[in-house]
Amino acid sequence: MYGLLEKDMDYILKALKQFDEIDRAILYGSRAMGNYKKGSDVDIAIQGEKVTEKTIFELDDLLNEVYPLPYFFDIVHFEKLTNQNLIDHIEKNGKVLYVRNEVSK
């Protein structure tokens, strides 16, 4: 899925679930559009009114340092974005990875 192994997706979801303040996580960029290459980073926009800089930092640390994932993760807080082109790209092309309290399939 999106060039990510199932076990790696499990780690990503495990990390996201640790933060009650994260309501949704949206994959965007080359992986969401399907034109990624080997070594492409993983762009994730997180949504949630209670998300803080600390949330972003801790999630970034889990994904980039703690978990054994072979990708670089770029995490942004969607509500804090000011670049309208990026907002439009995420809204148009983004793929929802996680919704808090949604039952996993």
Q: Could you tell me the residue ranges of all domains in the chain?
A: 6-99
Residue 14, pLDDT above cutoff 80? yes
Q: How far is Cα 94 from Cα 87, in angstroms, rounded to an integer? A: 10
Q: How far is Cα 20 from Cα 68, in angstroms, rounded to an integer? A: 23
Strands (DSSP E) along 20-105, which ranges? 24-28, 42-47, 73-77, 95-99
Q: Is the whole-model pTM more than 0.85?
A: yes
Residue 103, pLDDT above cutoff 90? no
Which pLDDT belongs to residue 105?
44
What are the tens digits of pLDDT across the range 79-90?
Answer: 999 999 999 999
CATH of 6-99, one of 3.90.1640.30, 3.40.50.1980, 3.30.460.10, 2.50.20.10: 3.30.460.10
Across all residues in the chain, what is the average pLDDT? Answer: 94
